[in-house]
Amino acid sequence: MEPYAPSSAGAVTVARALELPALRRGLPEVMAGGDRLHRPVRWVHAGEVPHIADLLKGGELLLTTGLGLGGRPAEQRAFVRRLAERDIAALVVELGSHLPTLPAAVVDTARSCGLPLVQLHREVPFVAVTEEIHTELVNEHYALLRRAEDVHRRCTEVLLGGGGVPEVLRLFADFTGNPVFLQTPEGRLLYAAGPSPAPPGAAEPLQVWDGLGAAGLPGGVVVDVPGHGPGVRARLSVLPVNAPLAPVHRIAADRAAGLLAVVLLQARQEEELAARGRGDFLTDLAEGRLEVADAPAQARVLGFRPGPGPLLPVVMRLPAELVPADGWSALAGAVRQELAGVGAPVLVGVRLPEGRVPLLVGLRGERGERGEDEREAVAGRVAAALRAGAARAGLRPPVVVVGGTATWATAGAELRHAAEGAEAAEAARPDRPWHDVRRLAVDVLLWRLRSHGDGELAAFVDRVLGPLLAHKLLPTLEAYLACGGRKAETARELHVNRQTLYDRLGRIGRLLGVDLEDPETALALGLALRARRHVGGRGRGGADGPLRG
């Protein structure tokens, strides 16, 4: 959505008022405040009384023939000063028989106060000026309402199209051109969104929140998102760090808050929102969209404060199509509760599009074998918590992949590698409590080959295993290769006698036309068996005995 710029809608300013036909016929000449003609005109008023400032509220364009100025310089200076203190938009004086020229005291005071002062060299009907400017004001207000209505309509379309609060906030951030935040009434950040594409040199939304947070900025907009009854469910805020905000932004924020209230009340998804915000941060880190130097501060904003030890990336994968629409809120809450007992700082996020739950865990930083023991122990506890959270949410056991220990500089690459490992492990070995990404290197490589979609991996499987796919001998070959070619151990695994195994192995060799004891042949067969899992070939060869778990 194109950002709304206050000047783009033809707002009624002093300069715009002077361009209208009614005032142009008076031959206007700016005598003071020429650098402030951009000031908005809220209303037009005409009057001739000395104390007219008391009748004004601010923002008016005042029309006068000068009868109320007074005859002495002191009275004239006081008249102009009071108008400036009322913060009127401009003073327009019509010259005539009563006031052939503007007194020097009026001009000098207007210049010192920064008040736009305009003299009209010809008489004009003030009623025509008033009608013309008021028509412009009404048209401008109508344009604002139409613009706000357009934003409201697009937000509604996003929700009806299956989007949620994050999508609405991103749309609103694009409209304002500024970062948008949703927070709890207590000030805890639920979600942050910035305009896309971001203006050159703009700070990340989490950086803005870390620097300003609830303090805000002058000219910002804060709107309450109502809850059930008189309470406040959340607060929507826009901080004008990239561009100033206009009245239309507040109007649109009020309408967006109403939509957000309905969504939050229906889905009760505050925890999911916070988890999606953390998931966006971890995904940006994994995909290199964050400056590494800024990552620790942004993580602190999200509540993650690890010690000086290494970081442990973890990824849990649950296919998005198997999670109900309202299941992510339950999953986010259940996982967060289970992870509270892990005994280490954890930053857990949610990525709905990929059906992924990325995490960063803070380790103490033991050295040597003790460090590896700590990694194994923490990984086991985290994986158990993730599986327990999925079970509490009514979901099937997930795939959990643990990456290698990392620093902030390498955490992104390790997270990305763990995410690829989760994709590969789901196809290859989905039933383990957790997978070490360091042992999934071959599966990740095969998964990448399959993801290219050119059929090369399937062709490789058919070429190496083709004659065997129509027979019930694949489990025997898998067990034989898994046991490293040791026949006695293979026979025990398959629960068959050795002669039966020899007969099967001989038949496999004849069907494939290879020597199973040749190392190169064993390597090709092992890769083909692994690749077969990634191309959807599991079970095509039938079964001839139990397999290794």
Using DSSP, state whether 398 is helix, strand or coil: coil
Task: Assess whether 430 and 461 both reside in one domain.
Answer: no
Task: Assess whether 424 and 494 both reside in one domain.
Answer: no
What's the structural domain count of the chain? 4
CA–CA distances in Å: residue 364 to residues 245, 344, 405, 437:
46, 8, 11, 21
Pairing relationship of beta strands 43-46 and 60-64 according to DSSP bridges: parallel
Residue 134 lies in a domain: no
Instruction: Tell me which residue of 141, 143, 149, 176 sits closest to 42, measured CA to CA.
Output: 141
Task: Assess whether 380 and 477 both reside in one domain.
Answer: no
Task: Assess whether 403 and 462 both reside in one domain.
Answer: no
Residue 150 lies in a domain: no
pLDDT (0 to 100) of residue 28: 94
- The pair of structure tokens assigned to 199 is 């203006």
Type of residue found at 234: A
pLDDT tens-digit map of 171-201:
888 888 899 999 888 888 888 999 988 888 8
Task: Assess whether 345 and 433 both reside in one domain.
Answer: yes
Q: What is the 3-state secondary structure (H, E, C) of 415-463?
A: HHHHHHHHHHHHHHCCCCCCEEHHHCHHHHHHHHHHHCCCCHHHHHHHH
Residue 115 lies in a domain: yes
Task: Assess whether 530 and 400 both reside in one domain.
Answer: no
Q: Residue 313 pairs with which residues in a beta bridge?
A: 360
Q: Phi, psi at residue 315, to the nearest 5°?
A: -135, 130
Task: Assess whether 205 and 259 both reside in one domain.
Answer: yes
pLDDT tens-digit map of 493-509:
889 898 998 888 888 88
Q: How many CB atoms lie within 10 A of CB 115?
A: 24
pLDDT (0 to 100) of residue 362: 93
Intra-chain end-to-end CA distance of the chain, in Å: 53
pLDDT (0 to 100) of residue 360: 95
Contacts with 147 (C-beta within 8 Å, 6 or more apart), sequence order: 4, 9, 248, 252
pLDDT at residue 222 tops 70: yes
pTM score, two decimals? 0.57
The CA distance from 231 to 520, in Å, is: 71
- The CATH number covering residue 500 comes to 1.10.10.2840
Mean pLDDT of 43-68: 90
Q: Phi, psi at residue 253, to the nearest 5°?
A: -65, -40
pLDDT at residue 85 tops 70: yes
Task: Assess whether 463 and 441 both reside in one domain.
Answer: no
pLDDT at residue 541 tops 60: no
Q: Give the end of a domain, one of 217, 251, 267.
A: 267
Contacts with 386 (C-beta within 8 Å, 6 or more apart), sequence order: 314, 316, 335, 338, 339, 357, 398, 400
User: What is the radius of gyration, based on Cα positions, of the chain?
Assistant: 36
Task: Assess whether 351 and 416 both reside in one domain.
Answer: yes
302 contacts 207 by C-beta, under 8 angstroms: no
pLDDT tens-digit map of 106-151:
999 999 999 999 999 999 999 888 888 888 887 776 776 777 788 8
- Asked which of 32-41, 62-71, 350-359, 531-540 is least confident by mean pLDDT, the reply is 531-540
- The CATH number covering residue 424 comes to 3.30.70.2730
Residue 413's Cβ-count burial label (10 Å; 0-12, 13-18, 19+) is middle
89 contacts 118 by C-beta, under 8 angstroms: no
pLDDT (0 to 100) of residue 266: 61
pLDDT tens-digit map of 410-469:
999 999 999 888 888 876 555 688 998 888 877 777 777 777 665 777 777 787 887 787
Q: Return the higher-pLDDT residue of 275 and 378.
A: 378
pLDDT (0 to 100) of residue 1: 59
**Domain range enclosing 311:** 299-447
- The CATH number covering residue 244 comes to 3.30.450
Using DSSP, state whether 311 is helix, strand or coil: strand
Residue 104 lies in a domain: yes
pLDDT tens-digit map of 394-425:
888 889 999 999 999 999 999 999 988 888 88
pLDDT at residue 547 tops 50: no
Confidence tier at 83 by pLDDT (50, 70, 90): very high
Task: Assess whether 311 and 390 both reside in one domain.
Answer: yes
The CA distance from 88 to 55, in Å, is: 11
Residue 11 lies in a domain: no
Mean pLDDT of 19-46: 91
The CB-based long-range contact list for 531-535 (8 Å cut-off, 24+ gap) reads 531/446, 531/449, 531/450, 531/457, 531/460, 531/461, 532/461, 532/465, 533/427, 533/428, 534/424, 534/427, 534/428, 534/443, 534/446, 534/447, 534/450, 534/457, 535/450, 535/457, 535/458, 535/461
pLDDT (0 to 100) of residue 542: 39
Beta strands in 205-252 (DSSP E): 221-226, 232-238
Residue 172 lies in a domain: yes
Residue 16 lies in a domain: no
Q: Residue 191 pairs with which residues in a beta bridge?
A: 182
pLDDT (0 to 100) of residue 164: 78
pLDDT at residue 281 tops 80: yes
pLDDT at residue 492 tops 80: yes
Task: Assess whether 400 and 468 both reside in one domain.
Answer: no
Q: Can you spell out the DSSP letters for 328-377?
A: HHHHHHHHHHHHTTSSS-EEE--BTTTTEEEEEEE-----HHHHHHHHHH
pLDDT tens-digit map of 49-59:
999 999 898 88
Q: What is the pLDDT of the chain when averaged over all its residues? A: 83
Spell out the alpha helix ranges (H) of 161-188. 165-176
pLDDT (0 to 100) of residue 325: 63
- The CATH number covering residue 107 comes to 3.40.1390.20
Q: Give the end of a domain, one of 243, 267, 291.
A: 267
Supply the angle between the helices 368-392 and 327-339 in degrees, to the nearest 10: 140
Q: How many CB atoms lie within 10 A of CB 78?
A: 18
Contacts with 368 (C-beta within 8 Å, 6 or more apart), sequence order: none
- The pair of structure tokens assigned to 172 is 């609103």
Whether a cis peptide bond, with omega within 30° of 0, leads into 397 is: no
Pairing relationship of beta strands 356-362 and 435-436 according to DSSP bridges: unpaired
Mean pLDDT of 205-223: 80
- Asked which of 38-52, 71-85, 318-332, 396-410 is least confident by mean pLDDT, the reply is 318-332
Residue 8 lies in a domain: no
Residue 383 C-beta-side C-alpha neighbours within 13 Å: 21
pLDDT at residue 154 tops 90: no
The CA distance from 225 to 168, in Å, is: 14
Residue 482's Cβ-count burial label (10 Å; 0-12, 13-18, 19+) is middle
Q: Give the end of a domain, one of 123, 143, 171.
A: 123
Task: Assess whether 104 and 210 both reside in one domain.
Answer: no
235 contacts 225 by C-beta, under 8 angstroms: yes
The CA distance from 214 to 11, in Å, is: 30
Mean pLDDT of 350-370: 82
Q: Phi, psi at residue 57, to the nearest 5°?
A: -110, -15
pLDDT at residue 284 tops 80: yes
